[in-house]
Amino acid sequence: MSIDLIPGHATMAATRQYVSSFGQSCAPGHYSDFLNVHLQLSSLGIGTFPGAPTDEVDAQYAEIISRALTQGINVIDTSAHYRYGRSAAAVGVGLRRAMAVGVEREQVFLVSKGGFLSMREGKPDNLAEWFQQEVVEKGLGKVEDLVSMHCISPEYIAFQLELSRQLMGVETLDAFLIDQPEVHIPVIGKAALNNKLLAAFTVLEEAVKAGRLRYYGISTFNGFRAETDNPLFQSIASLIGLAEKAAQAAWQDIQAKHHFKVVQLPFNQVMQEGFTRFSQTTGQGNVGSSIQAAHQLGVYLMASHTLFKGRLAETAMDAVVQTLPMLPNHAQRALQFNRSTPGVGTSLVGISTPAHLDDLLAVSHLPPLEKAVYLKMYERTDDAG
């Protein structure tokens, strides 16, 4: 094993103390309540997907994360496969650097993901051969578990959770998400995918039981944005049903509470489906958007693709510009749009260049838009259409 693992996980008391210390320069409304646990999580979080797999980018991420954590941003998102695992390791360096100046582990919400293959040495020349050696022969999955570059066998998900903990250097992850499980649907169908998810959720419930994890969920690209008749559509209520079965199996208790509490989906001013498409049922006879359903079903929602791979740093919809003319650039407008969306807990922004952190911190010093002002942007968009 590696360095000593940092103990602890985000707590209500510590995150509240964080708000009044490192977050004191942030505006009212910058922090979201994490469900009934009442963790205080920043409305903007740092994502770690972009950037080349180099020592230079590692160092930049460590700097970005340590600076963000000391200036009111306490949600960090990574994955076992981002930049071949280098991003998760850089998160660990940044966390330790922030802790050296007073940030506590219990004040930070750390998210990692699994599903896409973790290739620590870079992309192999022969994927099938690599998978045989690194997954099949190590008992982490079978050949038929591989779809494209994705594997969600329970053994592989458990491996990626452990890899994330070791790379980040922490005893307990706050959340671990299965990333884009819908990629399996065209190959094996939804029923077979649900069986795979049930097995994966069970090992994640077991990780919660063992103290290695607090919460889990899924991150989607298409699943929560698609129409209900699209094969890739994912129902939050159905996923919770799988989690309930997983909890009962893992805890050997018919009354066991599940820990499926976090979901991610792409959402921004040009990918609005999570807010505008009423595709989800909540189990109470109601139908709502994915963002509304998550709120009603007791799941914390994180928005990804806030800047749409950088494109929204260069352009913005007219309604957004008209509502936020006082902001100096489109990047800040995109951040303010997302974090003001009712029901979105945290908007994640992939930042690999330290200078780009300035825009995120500037927006954290502003209160989110009032709901009526936010909704007016959709009316303007409709009028323009």
H/E/C letters for each residue in the chain? CCCCCECCCCCHHHHHHHHHCCCCCCCCCCEEEEHHHCEEEECEEEECCCCCCCHHHHHHHHHHHHHHHCCCCCEEECCCCHHHHHHHHHHHHHHHHHHCCCCCHHHCEEEEEECECCCCCCCCCCHHHHHHHHHHCCCCCCHHHCECCECCCHHHHHHHHHHHHHHHCECCEEEEEEECHHHHHHHHCHHHHHHHHHHHHHHHHHHHHHCCEEEEEEECCCCCCCCCCCCCCCCHHHHHHHHHHHHHHHHCCCCCCCCEEEEEEECECCECHHHHCCCEECCCCCEECHHHHHHHCCCEEEEECCCCCCHHHCCCCHHHHHHCCCCCCHHHHHHHHHHCCCCCCEEEEECCCHHHHHHHHHHHCCCCCCHHHHHHHHHHHHHHC
Tell me phi and psi for residue 112, to 5 degrees: -130, 170
Q: Which of the residues in the chain have pLDDT under 50?
A: 1-2, 385
Tokens of 32: 């979201």
Is 363 part of a structural domain of the chain? yes
Distance CA 231, CA 134 (A): 31
Range of the domain at 121: 12-384
Task: Say if CB 341 and CB 301 are below 8 A apart.
Answer: no
pLDDT in tens, 215-244: 999 999 999 999 999 999 999 999 999 999
C-alpha of 196 from chain center: 21
Is 41 part of a structural domain of the chain? yes
Pairing of strands 39-42, 44-47: unpaired
Distance CA 242, CA 236 (A): 10
Of 139, 163, 238, the C-alpha closest to 197 is 238
Is 320 part of a structural domain of the chain? yes
User: What angle separates helix 190-210 from helix 236-251, to the nearest 10 degrees?
Assistant: 50
Query: Kindly report the CA angle at 86 between 82 and 90, in degrees rounded to 5?
Result: 110
Specify the pLDDT at position 128: 95
Specify the pLDDT at position 285: 80
Is 358 part of a structural domain of the chain? yes
CATH of the domain at 261: 3.20.20.100
Distance CA 30, CA 42 (A): 6
pLDDT in tens, 23-35: 999 999 999 999 9
Is 43 part of a structural domain of the chain? yes
Is 5 part of a structural domain of the chain? no
Specify the pLDDT at position 381: 57
- With a CB cutoff of 8 Å and minimum separation 6, the contacts of 158 are 203, 207
User: What angle separates helix 154-168 from helix 86-99, to the nearest 10 degrees?
Assistant: 40
Tokens of 52: 């080349």
Sign of CA dihedral 286, 289, 291, 292: negative
- With a CB cutoff of 8 Å and minimum separation 6, the contacts of 30 are 23, 42, 43, 44, 72, 364, 367, 368
Domains contained in the chain, number? 1
- The residue type found at 53 is P
Is 2 part of a structural domain of the chain? no
